[in-house]
Every structure is written in structure tokens, then in C-alpha cells.
């Protein structure tokens, strides 16, 4: 019988397969877009001798980039480029992308100029790098963009709504920092956060952006988000309500539909967790029915999932928002 080979880490012997398990978990977290967790697993895996160090470091680089840990990502890029780890031009692509995010145009210009002088670029990369070189030259010579405060703090919710709606057709660069700050601040009104995401989506922002809303916390890419009412979950809730009410009570259906739209607009880009569309539709119907009848709702006979739905729906219902 073949003996298992133990690895020693400091004064501790590590069980065989530990690094492989960490790599598996790290890649799984990366696929599930849980980038912070992916970073933790992959960093831990790199503490052990690895046959696939190049691939693990590339996965870690992507996780660092997606979790906005740009300084660590830049250090890793430089280390990989210096040691010749990974596919050179794949690492370089990420390096240039991070430098662009950080507005380090001089570094981009210096790096790409040296590459052009070496004349060793693959043809499929040449056109893109020439474009980036010209852009970095233009940006490093351009006057810095003056950042402006988006809000003074005295605006009403309606005034903030109007300001954000106007930004759809304006240059948002002076307000980018403010917009991102409002998205990651859970104290920001969720209606305002949804409008901000719509603004970033309309401007095609492809940078990963942190969003904290209610008990949700996630990195999202605005450019690829679906519209608020395009999600399969929302559409299934509406379908269930229509099946139950379209013939029996169309007036109640319209009220229920508007209620669900208001709640999902506030939740966007998130959806109820561990709650089925059936339970959400039933809870919405019960709440609207109580408003319609003018009588308090009887919650004694509700199941746990419907109770959770009602709790969140009531929380959303208490949040005032402009008419959508």
C-alpha cells in the first residue's frame, strides 16, 4: 500500500490534499462570484508547494481584481510578470486594466511604450495596445477631472430622484466617487441606490461596484445587470398573481401588481433569499387584501416562509418613496 506523503508547514504536519481542497474551494467561490472568500482560500493554498502555482496565482489575481483589492492585485501582477508566471499577455491585460481603474496613466504609457519598442507584440494584441497607448498619453496630459459633490445633504428624496434621473444624460465622472459611496452605504435610501445603479447601467459602467442594501452585500457589474422587472423571480410572482386574480378580481390584481413592483424596485438588484415566488405572491396578496378590505390581516395561520415574506414586505412597505 502506497504511503501518503505528509507536508510540513512550520511545526505542523498538514494532511495530504489540503492544498488541493483549498484550490477547489477557491475556484468554486470564484465561479460563484464570492470574491472575498476566493481570495482567502487561494492565498491559503499558496502557502503550500504547488505544481499549478501559475494557475492558482492567476485565479487569485482575478479574485483580487473583482473584490476591488487593487493594490494587492497590482503587487501580484508585478510579481508574476517579473517571475514569468502565467500567460504573459493575460497577466499584462489585467495589469493594464487595474492601472486604468486607478488612473495611473503614466505607468500605462511607460509600460506600453517599452513593449512597442521591443516589437515583440502578437498581432492580435497590437491594435488594442496601440489604442491603449494613445488613450493613456491623452489622459496623462489631460487636466484632472474636478470631482463634485452630488448632494449637499439638504435635498428631499424627490429632489435627489430628479438629480439622479438627470445624470442619465450627463457626464458622471465628476460624481463617480459619490455614487459609489452611496451604493456601499446601507444608510442610503434604497430607492436612491436603485436609481444610482440604473444611472451606472445606462452609462455602461463595467467596473465591479459594491452594494450594501438591507441585509444584502455584494459586488455587482452595473453594465450587465438586468432591469428591475426583468428577473425571473419577479415575473413568476406576477404570473402567479395574474393566474389567481385576473378573472376573479382585476382591481385587486392591479393593486397587487403595483405593490410587488414597488417592493422589487426597492430590493434591486437583489431578490428575496430562501423565499419561493409562491410564498412571496401569497404574502403580497394577503397584505394588499387587508388594505383592500380595510381589515387587519390574520397572520396566525401563515407558514414560516410566508411569515418571513410578510416581515420583509412590511419593512419595504414602510419605506416612503416617490411614485414610480
Residue 276's pLDDT band (cuts 50, 70, 90):
very high
* pTM > 0.85: no
**pLDDT on residue 258:** 92
Helix (H) or strand (E) holding 219: strand 216-220
CA distance 72 to 65: 9
CA distance 297 to 307: 12
CA distance 114 to 122: 15
**pLDDT on residue 10:** 46
Where exactly are the structural domains of the chain? 7-141, 157-224, 232-317
Residue with cell 495596445: 129
**pLDDT on residue 300:** 58
**pLDDT on residue 153:** 78
Residue 171, pLDDT > 90, answer: no
pLDDT tens, residue by residue, 36-47: 899 999 998 888
Residue 198, pLDDT > 80, answer: yes
**pLDDT on residue 146:** 60
**pLDDT on residue 223:** 86
Residue with cell 447601467: 201
CA distance 253 to 241: 7
Q: Which three cell numbers stand for residue 309?
A: 415574506
Residue with cell 492585485: 73
**pLDDT on residue 11:** 43
**pLDDT on residue 125:** 79
**pLDDT on residue 5:** 46
Residue 14, pLDDT > 60, answer: no
Least confident of 3-7, 105-109, 154-158, 317-321: 3-7
Residue with cell 378573472: 247
Residue 1, pLDDT > 60, answer: no
Structural domain 7-141, CATH architecture = Alpha Horseshoe (1.25)
Amino acid at each position: 500500500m502506497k504511503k501518503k506523503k505528509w507536508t510540513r508547514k512550520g511545526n505542523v504536519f498538514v494532511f495530504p490534499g489540503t492544498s488541493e481542497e483549498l484550490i477547489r474551494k477557491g475556484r468554486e467561490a470564484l465561479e460563484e462570484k464570492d470574491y472575498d472568500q476566493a481570495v482567502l482560500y487561494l492565498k491559503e493554498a499558496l502557502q503550500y508547494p504547488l505544481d499549478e502555482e501559475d494557475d492558482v496565482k492567476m485565479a487569485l489575481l482575478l479574485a483580487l481584481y473583482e473584490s476591488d483589492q487593487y493594490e494587492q492585485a497590482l503587487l501580484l501582477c508585478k510579481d508574476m510578470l517579473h517571475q514569468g508566471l502565467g500567460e504573459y499577455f493575460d497577466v499584462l491585460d489585467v495589469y493594464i486594466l487595474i492601472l486604468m481603474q486607478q488612473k495611473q496613466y503614466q505607468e500605462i504609457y511607460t509600460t506600453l511604450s517599452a513593449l512597442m519598442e521591443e516589437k515583440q507584440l502578437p498581432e492580435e494584441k497590437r491594435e488594442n495596445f496601440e489604442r491603449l497607448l494613445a488613450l493613456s498619453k491623452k489622459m496623462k496630459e489631460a487636466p484632472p477631472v474636478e470631482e463634485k459633490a452630488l448632494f449637499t445633504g439638504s435635498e428631499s428624496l424627490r429632489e435627489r430622484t430628479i438629480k439622479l434621473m438627470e445624470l442619465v444624460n450627463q457626464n458622471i465622472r465628476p460624481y463617480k466617487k459619490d455614487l459609489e459611496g452611496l451604493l456601499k452605504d446601507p444608510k442610503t435610501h434604497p430607492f436612491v441606490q436603485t436609481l444610482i445603479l440604473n444611472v451606472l447601467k445606462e452609462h455602461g459602467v463595467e467596473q465591479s461596484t459594491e452594494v450594501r442594501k438591507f441585509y444584502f452585500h455584494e459586488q455587482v457589474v452595473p453594465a450587465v445587470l438586468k432591469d428591475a422587472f426583468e428577473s425571473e423571480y419577479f415575473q413568476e410572482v406576477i404570473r402567479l398573481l395574474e393566474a389567481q386574480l385576473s378573472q376573479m378580481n382585476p382591481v385587486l390584481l392591479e393593486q397587487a401588481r403595483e405593490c410587488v413592483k414597488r417592493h422589487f424596485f426597492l430590493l434591486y438588484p437583489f431578490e428575496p433569499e430562501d423565499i419561493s415566488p409562491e410564498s412571496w405572491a401569497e404574502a403580497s396578496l394577503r397584505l394588499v387584501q387587508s388594505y383592500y378590505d380595510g381589515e387587519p390581516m390574520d397572520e396566525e395561520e401563515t407558514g414560516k416562509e410566508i411569515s418571513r415574506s410578510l416581515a420583509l414586505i412590511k419593512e419595504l412597505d414602510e419605506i416612503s418613496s416617490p411614485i414610480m
